[in-house]
Amino acid sequence: MSATPTHNQTKHWQELDARHHIHPFSDTAALNAEGVRIITRGKGIYLWDSEGNRLIDGMAGLWCVQLGYGNEELAEAGCEALRTLPYYNHFFKTANPWTIELAATLAGILPQGLTRVLFANSGSEANDTAIKLIRYYWNLKGRPEKKIHISREYAYHGVTMAAASLSGLTPMHPQWDLPFPGFVKVPTVYWYGAKAAGYGDITPDEYGLLIARKLEEKILELGPDNVASFSAEPVHGAGGLMFPPETYWPEIQRICRKYDVLLHLDEVITGFGRTGRWFGSHTFGIAPDILTMAKGLSSGYQPISAIALGERVGEAIATANEELVHGYTYSGHPVASAVALKNLQIMARDKIVERVGEDIGPYFQARARELLSNHPLVGEVRGTGLLCAIELVKDKAAREFYDRKLDIGTQCRNHCFSNGLVMRAIRDTMVLSPPLVISRQEVDELLGLARRCIDLQAKDLGKL
Ligand code: PXG
């Protein structure tokens, strides 16, 4: 590939892509008619397309490029493993040094008690594996009737058959006749939308308790003896960056303990510094039985995910005295493990997590509120660490949304893309999740551009 593709080269790639490549979560015909944008290069928080346009990546790829693009040390770690041991497996009583070191490093940064890990290649596989291990755990414990998996509306846990069943975003189900039987949903915490949903002027703390107790009601309805697990993201990611009120997680944990329901936390987005601590579990004070992770584990440079086991599940498997009939060809791939290990070493050495927690995260949050809270189109700015959601609303005082059919979020996102900013729209919630290495100056640039694009959207709606 030439360093500076020509316009004809772009056209050629667009044609080949339309003819031969099916994209994830895309309307194939519509995308082919429009033509894809070809991203050819990245450095720091910036991306370039094949036409030479520069974009600020406000989403760190898909919430994953913690160390930003073009990190030479990560590239070098991958190359070294590629040259030394490009592949070997863990099936034949064998292991490689990078995967062992990675497992031990993870045990050192994970919430207390999570000391054993299995590896996979994506968040979906990690969650699929977690569901299998939960089932296995209860079978080992002689309680095979505990088979129902509860999760939340608006959850995103991935796309394999089980992970999609666990997901609560309803458009993910009809094409595949999902969810599978035994996957049950409970309402989730979306305080900003509570008024529109008919909860009136309830405080966040009252609302957090009320919603947590929906889990208790559901467990009692299904029978505690039948419920295997409760799965959730500490903060909803792809569902719309909804943050839990302070009362929510303590109550959820009380309920899980009371009814002997395993708590599975999906930290695919919230892991690796995103919320200002190593894991969302630390930020929100949660002690899960199983924790799944992916994305930021390797800063997205290699496909790798992991499933961490707490004492209960870990001990049960370690002392089962039988073969664990599970594993992927690429579980603990040496190259992916080497890159993930280096990623964690850099994060520790450069105090990346502390920086998000104490410096750049608070700066980002303060600047976002300063620039956007009083905007006529913005109902709420919420976030923590380097996660930020901006609600676009019709009526600020009444917390009233625009008609969904108008799709204000997508319109605003289109302004962003045209103006060199990747900002995601989830319904009418604009979302930012930039690389953790972003500088103060880059935060100003990113948020200034976000403000400009929201202004453009407000002008379209006659609000400015
Ligand atoms: N759990 C969570 C919390 C996720 O965010 C997955 C599991 C699945 O991971 P894999 O690696 O199988 O994709 C995810 C993935 C978006 C978007 O547009 C988010 C994800 C994936 C694709 C798009 O916000 N999250």
Superfamily per CATH, domain 37-70+351-460 = Aspartate Aminotransferase, domain 1 (3.90.1150.10)
Which of 268, 274, 430 most suits a substitution to test ligand 1, by most atoms within 8 Å of the C-beta?
268
> What are the domain boundaries of the chain?
37-70+351-460, 73-349
Query: Quick check: CB of 233 below 6 Å from ligand 1?
Result: yes
The answer to whether the CB of 426 falls within 8 A of the CB of 419 is no
Residue nearest atom 1 in ligand 1 by C-alpha distance: 157
The ligand 1 atom at the shortest distance from the C-alpha of residue 238 is 24
| Residues 198-237: tens digit of each pLDDT | 999 999 999 999 999 999 999 999 999 999 999 999 999 9
**Cα-based distances in Å from 281 to 129, 153, 208:** 20, 20, 17
- Biggest alpha carbon–alpha carbon distance for the chain: 68
CA of 158 to the centre of ligand 1 (A): 6
HSE on the CB side for 365, CA within 13 Å? 15
pTM across the whole model: 0.98
Phi, psi of 292 (to 5 degrees): -110, 145
Q: What would the mean pLDDT of 404-408 be, rounded to a whole number? A: 96
* pLDDT of amino acid 5: 86
The domain made up of 73-349 has a fold known as: Aspartate Aminotransferase; domain 2 (3.40.640)
Residue 133 phi/psi, 5° resolution?
-70, -35
What is the average pLDDT value for the chain, to the nearest integer?
97
| pLDDT tens track for 78-136 | 999 999 999 999 999 999 999 999 999 999 999 999 999 999 999 999 999 999 999 99
Residue at token pair 């979302």: 431
Tens-place pLDDT, residues 353-391: 999 999 999 999 999 999 999 999 999 999 999 999 999
Q: Give yes or no for residue 263 CB within 6 A of ligand 1.
A: no
Expressed in angstroms and rounded, the spacing between residue 129 Cα and the centre of ligand 1 is 15
d(CA 315, CA 323): 14
Q: What is the pLDDT of residues 409-447, one digit of tens each?
A: 999 999 999 999 999 999 999 999 999 999 999 999 999
CB atoms within 10 A of CB 256: 23
Condensed to tens digits (0 to 9), the pLDDT of residues 143-183 reads: 999 999 999 999 999 999 999 999 999 999 999 999 999 99
